[in-house]
Structure 1
Amino acid sequence: MKIGLLVTLVVMLSGCTFVRTVGMKWANSDIEPIWQSQQVSTLLNAYFEGEKSYLYVDVDGHRLKLLIDTGASFSSLFDTPKVAAMRLPRQAQLMIGGWGDEENSLAYKTQVGVFDLGAARFNNLIMAVIPTSTSKYYLRDDEATFDGIIGHDVMRHFAWTFDKAKKQIVLSQRAHSPQPGAHEISISRSLSKLKISAQFQLTEAHTVNMPIVIDTGSRHYLKLSARYIENHKLDMGRLVNAADFGLSGKTQHQRGHIKRIQIANLIVPNVKANFIPTEDEDELWIIGNAFLNQFVSTIDYHTDTLYLQPRAQAFQSRYNLSGLELRKLRSGYFVVRAVAPRASNIGLKVGDIITKVNNQDTPKLTVDDWLNTSNEAKQHQLCWVQSPLKQLSLNDPQCKTVTFSDIPGFNVAL
């Protein structure tokens, strides 16, 4: 009785937009895929950028680049030029929350006639459209280098195998058959979230068992609750300040390490982690793509199982020694989204455009190229311009040689 009254009160206070947004979780519950391949499984038209994985999908005859995001309850589009050209109907207003500490993203409901993955097709798929102008995820419209997100409503029908080293994504309409040596991990579902059990040795003396959410939309290794660290008065060693962005804007946080994580019979020592401010200590425990990409990973929705196939190369971490958070623009240049205190002496500001890194034009550099550069403790040359928010002027760039330094206790041992 009390729960019913509470739900009624929340609905009354939140209004119709809240109810419609929650309803999006089940909007496609009756839609089934039409398998179009002669094979049980097939290679998809995949693209990897940084630690994230994308597919090229045919949506009503338009070729769109969509992020594969197990953390998203439903599939969405951004109003990029490609999506705007589709002239999709606006059906109802939505308010979409996600990663970040600022405002949720205003969006609207729509429906597409054909959503074609190549191997499988969905008809009359309901989606959200998120204008870049109303989302704190973006600083400027041309940051939208992908057109949307494939969420749980589409993903739940298949087994998905990701191999970043080979740049391949395999889709299967049947349960996955693992290779010898693969770690087999049971998945539990909570609404649209996928959770696995894990044991964290946070310090030499403190271990905790905690379920963690599988989030292929996250570019990080682990996201853990800073509230848990505070409540248990744990000394996590050297931490660095950082920032990240999601559909609810920017989150300031700290990055460091945990001693080890154990998932089923897989044990990985010395894993990077982002410690995120939360209200509750069990609120935010996430395993992201930087961790999953260390393996050939399969998320099998048929059997609710995660398979992690080890590679010959040992688990390796990349570190951001630059203190800069950069994001690609559609032009190929990088825009500065955040500057950590350790990088404040460089002279860069949020919104500046990086035009060259080590004498290479940034449109010729990938996100992985930048991640590898920022992982190198040595001198680097950066060139940039101060660009107005809606324009890109490359006149009179300034260049500076800067040193990305090792951080004892973070990327190197004390």
Structure 2
Amino acid sequence: VIKVNSFELQSRLGVKTREPRWAIAYKFPAHQGTTVIKDIIPSVGRTGVVTPVAIFEPVRIGGVTVSRSTLHNWDEVRRKDIRIGDTVVVERAGEVIPHVVMVVKGKRTGKEVVPEIPEKCPVCGSQVVREEGEVAVRCIGLNCPAQVKERIRHFASRAAMDIEGLGEKNVELLYSHGLVKSFVDIYKLKKEDLLRLPRFAEKSAENLIQAIERSKKTTLAKFLFAIGILYVGEYTAKVLAKHFRRLEDLYHIRPDKLMDIPQIGPKIARSVALFFNDEKNLATLEELKSLDLEIENPDYEEQKGPLPLEGLTFVITGTLPRPRKEIEQQIESLGGHVASAVSKKTDYLIVGEEPGSKLQKAISLGVKRITYDEFLKLIEQGGQHENR
């Protein structure tokens, strides 16, 4: 990164939509390598999505040996025409994640094999389905081991329950020995259970038990993210926590009640309602609570009638009189939503000095453009702008 070496000049130059004007990042071309795909195998994630994974001859890229890469989805495999036996160019995207860039079609021999989308789950044998409008194909097996292990790993991840020491290898170990088959089993683990397993000694077993104990005190937002409801990421979990004081307030929720929340669309509403109307899911949640989980909710906001920006979506471009993060927080605290890009769903583009390409996009889509002062006036008027 090359920067202007003066705080005064940095202040005068200011910032653009996404980056400062006083600095520029020079990115070296990603390291690449050529290898041969030996196989394309299906891998099952926590939500049942069956993802194609390329297994190739080990190749050294940027000082690291890689031998596999996700191909993202089966449509992508078709689009790039990737076949078993193909010679491909692989790079490490962001110098971290292996990524198949292209097929070297000039090296094809005619013996390459087009991979087939599996009809059955490779792990549990259940049917694989593809819902209309989605690129993902999913295993619908309720007790699919691959999904169970991935759900447990997700539950324990840092952004969720944050159980240090319960990563992929230990989840596999605990699952294969029958000690952890669900979220509930995590909180029933005892130190002596761990000491009977390979990989665990006195100290490592004690550390994991302590990490599990620490995780019992969490927030509703983190817990909702942890339990792995389809389409509920960190952001949506926080939105739900803002609108529901307690976990129990979501039990037997109707989709239309969820749709009253501006940031929740029909797909998410259906998924959340389906989860919280399933008696088996509710029984699991109650059992978790009985194991001394303390779920606090610092995100809850008492609803005092409609907020001035309720249901409005904003995008910001250019330099404004206040830090952008501060303005975004103000919008969200008043019921609005801040998006990173302009779309047909955008209600207002707040335009500052020297706006970026978002302005042209807003003009082409007919999105209302307002200045910072007009934004403040909009708040005073309760979200009703004269040109809206």
TM-score between both structures, scaled by the size of structure 1: 0.28
Between structures 1 and 2, the one with greater helix share: 2
**If the length of structure 2 is used for normalisation, what is the TM-score?**
0.30
